[in-house]
Amino acid sequence: MTDETTSAATDSGMSAHGVPYGEVRETHSGLVVLVGETAYKVKKPVELAFLDFRERDDRRRVCRRELELNRRLAPDVYVGMTELPQADGSTEPAIVMRRMPDEHRLATLVGRGRPVTDEVRRIARVMAAFHAGAEHGPVIAAEGGVRALRERWRHNLEEVARFRGTLLDDAIVGDVERLSDRYTAGREDLFDERIDDGRIVDGHGDLLADDIFCLADGPRILDCLEFDDRLRRIDALDDMACLAMDLERLGASAAAAELMTAYREFSADTFPTSLAHHYIAYRAFMRAKVAALRAEQPRVGHGPSEPAAEAVRLAGLARDHLRRGEVRLVVVGGAPGTGKSTLAGALADRLELTMISSDRLRKELAGIDPRQHAGAGWQEGIYSAAWTNRTYDEMLRRATALLGRGESVVLDASWTEPAHRVLVERAAQATYSTLTVLRCAVGAEVAAARILARDDISDADETVAATMSRAERPWPGAVTIDTSGDEKESVEAALAVVLGPDRS
């Protein structure tokens, strides 16, 4: 009973829900017969790439498994099993279900433009409780590791290879391949942490808006993935990302965002935003693959271009989320008075970056309150070469740890020494993070005036600032941002560099 169904009314009579009393709905692997308030679901005797239902005993086994699994979330909907008599005297195993009202499908509500904020919050609460009590353990956890995720990405990319340059834009698929690979390559610490925290569970596996019914006493969540246990053993966040992707596909981006926010609240999961984007991208690309494969086959009730258009749109959605989930190391440098701390803070706010400031960290390492003045001459006191090296080493150590856990970082420091810049490049390379280097610049008079007027944690005076400006060496690859004008203009110029002019 998903969006891949075709249906036919079998009687003009209407049930209590205002729908045909009898109806048949068909998917690629099953058949649902609706009779009054009851639904009978059977498996087709088919063999597909991912399942084999040719034998009746296998169909019976899968029906029992589906009944068992779906009773975890909707016990009052999945009534039991029966054997439907066949003309040849045999029987066909069938799942007996309580018929759900179509007008209460989440997909129907979204399609009609109804606000669904309350509904998605209830779903998030139910799923958080479900995941908390779901089966987990070493065998299940192995499916949530980085190796398993990379294998699933590889499998999907191989299956769409023949569509590149024809149905699917080669550049988009190429970006998906590159960005997904970079994320998983540099985030092993994050995935290990997810396993250690017990976030890999035997979940739903195929959470879609078409299979969720929003009733007055709470949602009924149906049709979990039953034919392959491995595909259901996933990060709980991946489970939720499937529904977030589906809501976006249906045009309800705000509801998708609310779902993820509510799930974070109810599950007490501190996942990085980049991981949510990555899982949504994975789900979108997997569905793009299914749509591309469907576009090759004749489909009853669909125009020839509908699956193809969906494949294109979903591949683009996957790329968009991978771009939004890129792990970034943004370096903001420049002499005192150039506005580097102001720009770094603004970028941290706009892009949800963790900001590490050398001024604050230096005093933390020295056991000094950040607001306490600790001024000294050039390369004296806590501003000596040894203290500066220690500060930069610790700054990059913290940044590397954050990047490995999927958190993007902005580093606020002067960066006058080439040796410190090498540390930045190594951190970005080690964590497969996107590095952007910004150098703030203003005229000497403007910088001096700012130093005299400011009230912050920096200790540099005009003399130190002038000395640092003279000592600064060129940094190939750094982009200069003129910060002498309006702050908003400087921030927009920096965003254009970090994200690219088409995404800022």
| Residue 351 burial (10 A CB sphere; 0-12, 13-18, 19+) | middle
Phi (first) and psi of residue 369, to 5 degrees: -60, 135
Q: What is the pTM of this model?
A: 0.89
Hey, CA dihedral for 376, 440, 347, 426, is it positive or negative? negative
The CATH homologous superfamily of the domain defined by 102-324: Aminoglycoside phosphotransferase (APH), C-terminal lobe (3.90.1200.10)
pLDDT of 377 over the 60 cut? no
Cα 136 to chain centroid, rounded: 22
pLDDT tens, position by position, 82-93 = 999 999 999 999
DSSP secondary structure of 245-268? HHHHHTT-HHHHHHHHHHHHHHHT
The CATH homologous superfamily of the domain defined by 328-499: P-loop containing nucleotide triphosphate hydrolases (3.40.50.300)
CATH domain 6-98 topology: Phosphorylase Kinase; domain 1 (3.30.200)
**Mean per-residue pLDDT for 403-414?**
96
Beta strands 409-412 and 328-333 are parallel
3-state SS string over 41-66? EEECCCEECCEECCCHHHHHHHHHHH
pLDDT of 103 over the 90 cut? yes
Residue 246, pLDDT score: 98
pLDDT of 378 over the 70 cut? no
User: Of all helices (H) and strands (E), which one includes residue 281?
Assistant: helix 273-295
Contact status, residue 437 vs residue 475, Cβ threshold 8 Å: yes
Domain ranges of the chain: 6-98, 102-324, 328-499
Phi (first) and psi of residue 86, to 5 degrees: -110, 160
User: Alpha-carbon distance 246 to 248, whole Å?
Assistant: 5
What is the share, in percent, of the chain residues with pLDDT greater than 70?
85
